[in-house]
Structure 1
């Protein structure tokens, strides 16, 4: 669905990581950490069991039984076992992996504060739609962004982008039809393809780590968040 001049935008959906924020203080990957502990693990092995390996799929949620964190710990235990961690050490290693995962921080990307302030000031229906393991509020505070901004988080919904159901939850929360929502993110697969399949207007935030091979007529490409803000000002006739 190309975003042409006549397209009617009433609301905005924004990806979180590598769109609104980026890494502030990084930590080793799970594969690197397991290797440093003396076990054999590669990035490909990690991708089997870490949550990004389940993109596009249904998962447990925080309110399901078993809940999301239990499901994730089971996956991390499988990762540890496949890396050669002895059975009696798996619990302790999983704890270390979780501690490491919770220790890195994020910072706002240029334009993020201005964009969220613009949306709030003009009362434009908007939400953050993220594949994320935890509540986003602490990470929003780390980045100096409003921590009460509406969010649709995969681990709370029980499905990961690019599955269309999570975009359907965005439309439900915004009380808008999908075609009236612009979804902007940095992932061609999770954000652009997911938005197109869900009937939303796709926006691609260009980054160094991902590439877009779709024709320009199908998706609006933004070099940064300031350009998203300028686009909305023009499209919504707001200053």
Structure 2
């Protein structure tokens, strides 16, 4: 059976729209090293994910833009790590924000070209501030923004993708989802009936082979995929 014509493109945010296959955890690990802090992945992991949980519980988080969100996350990480260096907070925040804004600038022209041919949306495990963050980024006109904290569903539950299809009023087979996580993006999107693109570093091993999945190393390759 032939898939219907592609009519919409869904994208993950973290590690996809704000960087080519670089998860926030890996990004922060790089930034600590850049700031001269010797920190192993094993040492950072509990602090990073504790900060994630604490930030999601912030009462005003829905209004957080990039800088305020990053500042809060970094302070929570450092508190969990037992650091109190205000200068380190500033260096980490400034570096993360600068890298993210550079990714926005790179991806904005591509997304605006894609928006001329396809309806666009975002599906993200986030804190409730994805609409505010995307408004600040001004990447493209996203018709649908699915933020896990706002809809009560989280990846890798395929239901979050089914919800996106319902809000677009399109059959899942007419939608392509792009994300950097095999487990949270590719597998559940395909399970929901969508096509998928896995954004992954060239040396990342593919966990499995799935039909209807394309692999790219940069969002810049996306135009060729949807052409």
TM-score, shorter chain, exceeding 0.5: yes
Shift of residue 29 of structure 1?
2.4
Report the counterpart of residue 13 of structure 1 in structure 2: 10
Q: Flag the 1:52–1:149 CA change in 2: closer, same or farther, 3 A.
A: farther
Instruction: Please provide the CA RMSD for this pair.
Output: 4.6
- 1:93-132 matches, within 5 Å, as 101-104=96-99, 105-107=101-103, 113-118=109-114, 120-122=115-117, 124-132=118-126
Q: Flag the 1:46–1:177 CA change in 2: closer, same or farther, 3 A.
A: farther
Flag the structure with larger Rg: 1
Alpha carbons 1:77, 1:94 under 8 Å: kept: no
Query: Per the alignment, in what secondary structure is the counterpart of residue 205 of structure 2?
Result: coil
1:194 aligns with 2:191: no
Q: Which has the higher contact order (CA 8 A, sep 6+)?
A: 1
Query: Per the alignment, in what secondary structure is the counterpart of residue 196 of structure 2?
Result: strand
CA distance in 1, matches of 2:176, 2:43: 35
Report the counterpart of residue 162 of structure 1 in structure 2: 156
Gaps of 5+ in 1: 234-239
Report the counterpart of residue 142 of structure 2 in structure 1: 149
Gaps of 5+ in 2: 65-69
Shift of residue 155 of structure 1?
5.0
CA distance in 1, matches of 2:97, 2:152: 20
Q: How many residues align?
A: 208
Shift of residue 196 of structure 1?
2.4
CA distance in 1, matches of 2:212, 2:175: 15
Shift of residue 14 of structure 1?
1.9
Alpha carbons 2:148, 2:154 under 8 Å: kept: yes
Q: Flag the 1:76–1:117 CA change in 2: closer, same or farther, 3 A.
A: closer
Q: Flag the 1:15–1:109 CA change in 2: closer, same or farther, 3 A.
A: farther
TM-score between the two structures when normalised by the length of structure 2: 0.61
